[in-house]
Structure 1
Amino acid sequence: MSIHDILKDPTSAALDGFRVEIDAERERGDVILARPPLNTVSMPQRDQLRAAFEALDADERVRIIVLRAEGEHFSSGGYIKGFLEAAPEVVSKLAWNIAAPARCAKPVIVANRGYCFGVGFEISLACDFRITSETCQYALPEQKLGQIPGSGGSARLQKIVGITRTKDIVMRSRRISAQQAYDWGISTELVADAELEAATDRLVEELRGFSPIAQRTAKKLLNDTEDATLSLAIELEGHCYSRLRQSDDFREGVEAFHEKRPPRFRGS
């Protein structure tokens, strides 16, 4: 299936190892890994996942994007033999494809349970919110194969937990428990396994209550200033704040506050 086909119909049954569901009433689009029991990610699947995220980001019915998986494990990682079979130009795009959730203007939530290894961990790190079941284990095990993470995992992880903990995880192929991931700031929320879906639903509904334009602005600003100096980050924040002052949503938010009623944001 071509990328153009996916963009036209992200819910197509021809997707490799995953499916897409859109709930227009709840303004939600789900990308669901569907190759149980371990939900391994094939090489062609990575390109399709990128296209699916791009399609959902462009879909006006969708406010919030959720990445989740069937079964007791989110993903044990990539299909190992695929790395030897793939051409160099394909391998060189791995990080770009897996970074698709970060490039989405809309908020992206991932629900992690069980094994979350390799590319499963890397694509989770590219999401904005990680809801983690108590059964979850995170790992970047590429050292055991004579390799290093190739889809942005070590770079994103270092931004979150620092170089010392990243070396401990990457260079020792060490598994991180759900509790340790939460304590280190890798996961946004830690919940009982039976509560994972409900916690994800709650976050979706919470995020839907905010202004779409304010959320898009906040996400882009935070992503763009991650490597910026403090003075530059404050300068860019001021410019974004100034632009939002002219938005319909800001006016609605102020009026709703003074009228003591829930705001009715439109995203403009």
Structure 2
Amino acid sequence: MPSVMTFADPRLATLDGFRVEIDEAQQRADIVLDRPPFNIVSMPERDQLRLVFETLDEDARVRVIVVRAIGEHFSSGGNIKGFMEATPEHVSKLAWNIAAPARAAKPVIAANRGYCFGVGFELSLACDFRIITETTQYALPEQKLGQIPGSGGSARLQKMVGITRTKDIVMRSRRINAEQALAWGIATEKVADADLEKATDALVAELVSFSPIAQRTAKKLLNDTEDSPLAIAIELEGHCYSRLRQSHDFKEGVEAFHEKRKPVFTGI
């Protein structure tokens, strides 16, 4: 059964608007947004989320990190008043904090239902997998405030869907429904609203079954080569393949294949 995680870092002594659950048997950690009904993300919460991701990335009990929320909405976005109260120096760190899922070596899943706006969308875009339901709506509504996305949203989105669709979403503060999100490649998988938790559990179990070192290598390689010329990407892929060739997990995978059994990966 999952247990609520406590942290030695005094900056995480009292979590602002979320909690962290650890399920050692499933080798997963859940970051649970818990400020219903809309799970608005405060400025201090952004700092804490970064620290939590960094801590979980070093936790040997955790293979997969899940970001989910309490209630019918993932998050309607950030605390608007907080932007005016924050210093320019603090605001300049927003994108770095929200990019923490992308920097994590471990796979990160976002389980999105209902509103997923502003920083909620940006946090999800920084994750590796996004599971959505028919109720999910994505949006970057900052133009309505006389502002632009400030936590990596427009940049990440443009990589995924191209400049034309990104301009349509950002410059018109347009909401994207679940069907569009799936068709455009924003979402990994779309399920019935009642099946979101089951689908998330299934993806966690699938990811945990693979070699930890191969998973970390694949994520870093794909992130690092996103903007690389094809020749450079192929060269880096070859180096990563060569390094994994020496791993215990690869040896175990080959032996298990020939012996027609399930491999036992150790991440070595």
**What TM-score, normalized to structure 1?**
0.96
Equivalent residue number for residue 250 of structure 2: 250
Q: What is the 5 A alignment of 1:84-233?
A: 84-233=84-233
CA RMSD, Structure 1 to Structure 2 (Å): 1.3
Equivalent residue number for residue 3 of structure 1: none
Q: Is the 8 A contact 1:7 1:51 kept in 2?
A: no
Task: Please state how far the C-alpha of 1:8 moved relative to its aligned partner.
Answer: 2.5
Q: Is the 8 A contact 1:7 1:54 kept in 2?
A: no
Equivalent residue number for residue 81 of structure 1: 81
Query: How many pairs are equivalent?
Result: 263
In 2, the alpha carbon distance for the partners of 1:230 and 1:183 equals: 25
Identity, % of aligned pairs?
A: 78
Q: Is the 8 A contact 1:18 1:35 kept in 2?
A: yes
Q: Is the 8 A contact 2:138 2:177 kept in 1?
A: yes
Equivalent residue number for residue 3 of structure 2: none
In 2, the alpha carbon distance for the partners of 1:253 and 1:64 equals: 20
Equivalent residue number for residue 262 of structure 2: 262
Aligned-partner SS, 1:111:
strand
Q: Is the 8 A contact 1:42 1:78 kept in 2?
A: yes
In 2, the alpha carbon distance for the partners of 1:7 and 1:224 equals: 31
Partner amino acid for 2:59? D
Q: What is the 5 A alignment of 1:17-56?
A: 17-56=17-56
Aligned-partner SS, 1:65:
strand
Task: Please state how far the C-alpha of 1:9 moved relative to its aligned partner.
Answer: 6.0
In 1, the alpha carbon distance for the partners of 2:9 and 2:142 equals: 34
Q: Is the 8 A contact 1:13 1:19 kept in 2?
A: no
Aligned-partner SS, 2:19:
strand
Q: Is the 8 A contact 1:19 1:33 kept in 2?
A: yes
Aligned-partner SS, 2:151:
coil
In the TM superposition, what whole-angstrom CA distance separates every residue of 1:70-122 from its partner, at most 9, and x where no partner exists?
A: 00000000000100000011000000000000000000001000000000000
Aligned-partner SS, 2:227:
coil
In 1, the alpha carbon distance for the partners of 2:137 and 2:161 equals: 16
Task: Please state how far the C-alpha of 1:7 moved relative to its aligned partner.
Answer: 5.3
Partner amino acid for 2:237? E
In 2, the alpha carbon distance for the partners of 1:149 and 1:185 equals: 20
Partner amino acid for 2:191? V
The verdict on how the C-alpha distance between 1:149 and 1:238 changes in structure 2, with shifts beyond 3 A counting, is same
Task: Please state how far the C-alpha of 1:14 moved relative to its aligned partner.
Answer: 1.2
